């Protein structure tokens, strides 16, 4: 689906670039208190790729030297509703036996993705899995799962930007915006 096939919508700013930057920096400071010097960061792609890149560099400013690994789990795809099923589309091939893993995702929503990911990484031998999300929508939880570290708690709105998409659109936006559907007209920002 290309951008012009999507229903008309606008992206309304929710968290500015500077607000996100400052929070990623303070998250790194908090994480540096509990992480060993050599954790393995596992980012869930594609959504967490910007958060991973930003947080990895922020961690280095706080004396943490992580190894970086990635994993792709099934996600929303083209819809704004979750299918309720999680599957491994591309597994993490990084050795995790006995390692402290920092698991990163863009958004904690129903909780299914992170619940699955934590168990999956534990099954691969991780000594400890610490979960951290840029955004949390507590109202949307379907199963009991809480992240160890949360960047921002947000209301039940559909968001894009900083790696987060709507049908593969808007990942490149440097801020977090809320998608608002309009009755007609151009897709705007
Ligand atoms: P969960 O398994 O329901 O917690 O889903 C988490 C995943 O759903 C996130 O990693 C996102 O990929 C996706 N998701 C949840 N909310 C949004 C949103 O507002 N915009 C875009 N993707 C979202
Ligand atoms: Mg995702």
Point out the ligand nearest to the CA of residue 72.
2
CA angle 151, 48, 150 (to 5 degrees): 15
* Six-digit token string for 74: 């099934």
Do 49 and 43 touch, CB atoms closer than 8 A?
yes
- Tell how far the Cα of 19 is from the centroid of ligand 2, in angstroms: 21
In tens, the pLDDT along 112-160 reads 999 999 999 999 999 999 999 999 999 999 999 999 999 999 999 999 9
Pocket lining: 124 vs ligand 1, CB cutoff 6 Å:
no
Rounded Cα gap, residues 125 and 60, in angstroms: 25
93 is catalytic: no
Domains of the chain, each with CATH number or no CATH: 17-70+96-156 (3.40.50.2020)
Specify which residues 160 forms β-bridges with.
177
Ligand 1, atom nearest to 116 Cα: 2
Pocket lining: 82 vs ligand 1, CB cutoff 6 Å:
yes
pLDDT category of residue 78 using cuts at 50, 70 and 90: very low
Please tell me the predicted confidence (pLDDT) of residue 150. 99
State pTM to two decimals: 0.93
- Tell how far the Cα of 69 is from the centroid of ligand 2, in angstroms: 15
In tens, the pLDDT along 15-53 reads 999 999 999 999 999 999 999 999 999 999 999 999 999
């Amino acid at each position: 689906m290309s951008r012009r096939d999507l229903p008309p919508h606008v992206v309304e700013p929710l968290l500015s670039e500077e607000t996100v930057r400052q929070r990623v920096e303070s998250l790194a400071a908090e994480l540096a208190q509990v992480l060993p010097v050599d954790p393995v960061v596992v980012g869930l792609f594609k959504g967490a790729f910007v958060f991973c890149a930003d947080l990895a560099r922020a961690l280095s400013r706080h004396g943490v030297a992580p190894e970086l690994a990635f994993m792709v789990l099934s996600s929303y795809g083209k819809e704004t509703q979750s299918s309720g099923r999680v599957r491994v589309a591309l597994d993490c091939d990084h050795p995790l036996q006995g390692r402290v893993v920092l698991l990163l995702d863009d958004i904690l929503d129903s909780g299914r993705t992170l619940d699955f990911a934590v168990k999956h990484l534990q099954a691969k031998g991780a000594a400890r899995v610490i979960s951290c999300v840029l955004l949390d929508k507590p109202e949307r939880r379907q199963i009991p799962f809480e992240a160890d570290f949360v960047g921002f708690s947000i209301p039940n709105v559909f968001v894009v930007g900083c790696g987060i998409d709507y049908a593969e659109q808007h990942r490149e936006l440097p801020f977090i915006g809320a998608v608002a559907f309009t009755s007609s007209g151009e897709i705007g920002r």
